[in-house]
Amino acid sequence: MSTTYQLHRGTVPLLISMPHNGEQIPDDIAQTMTEKALKVPDTDWYKDKLYAFALEMGAYIIKPEYSRYIIDLNRDPNGTNLYPGANSTELCPTSAFDESPLYLSGQEPDAEEIQHRVKKYWQPYHSALTNTLSEIKQQYGRAVLLDAHSIASRVPRFFEGQLPDFNFGTSDGVTCSEQMIDAVQHIDFAPYSMVTNGRFKGGFITRHYGQPEQNIHSIQLELSQRTYMNEDTATYDEHKAQQVIPKLKQLVSCLINFAEQSDD
Longest distance between any two alpha carbons in the chain, whole Å: 59
Exposure string of 55-90, with b = 16+ CB inside 10 Å and e = fewer, is eebebbbbbbbbbbbbbbbbbebeeeebeeeeeebe
Average pLDDT, the chain: 94
pLDDT in tens, 2-52: 799 999 999 999 999 999 999 999 999 999 999 999 999 999 999 999 999
Q: 190 and 225 in contact (C-beta within 8 Å)?
A: no
Binned at pLDDT 50, 70 and 90, residue 168 comes out as: very high
**What is the per-residue pLDDT across 129-139, written as a single tens digit (0 to 9) for each?**
999 999 999 99
pLDDT given for residue 2 in this prediction: 74
What is the DSSP secondary structure assignment for residue 233, as one 8-state letter?
T
Say which range, 5-14, 15-24, 88-97, 107-116, has the weakest mean pLDDT.
88-97
Among 3.65.10.10, 3.40.630.40, 3.40.80.10, 3.40.50.10190, what is the CATH number of 5-260? 3.40.630.40
Whether 263 shows a pLDDT value over 70: the answer reads: no
pLDDT score recorded for residue 87: 60
In the chain, where the domains are located: 5-260
CA separation for the pair 47, 69 (Å, rounded):
17
Distance, CA of 260 to CA of 137 (rounded, Å): 11
Q: Report the candidate in 224, 181, 255 with the shortest Cα–Cα distance to residue 12.
A: 255
Nearest to 252 by CA among 5, 12, 7: 12
The whole-model pTM stands at 0.95
CA distance to 31, 32, 202, per residue, from 35 (Å): 10, 10, 31
Q: What is the pLDDT of residues 192-224, one digit of tens each?
A: 999 999 989 999 999 999 999 999 999 999 999
What pLDDT does 88 receive?
Answer: 67
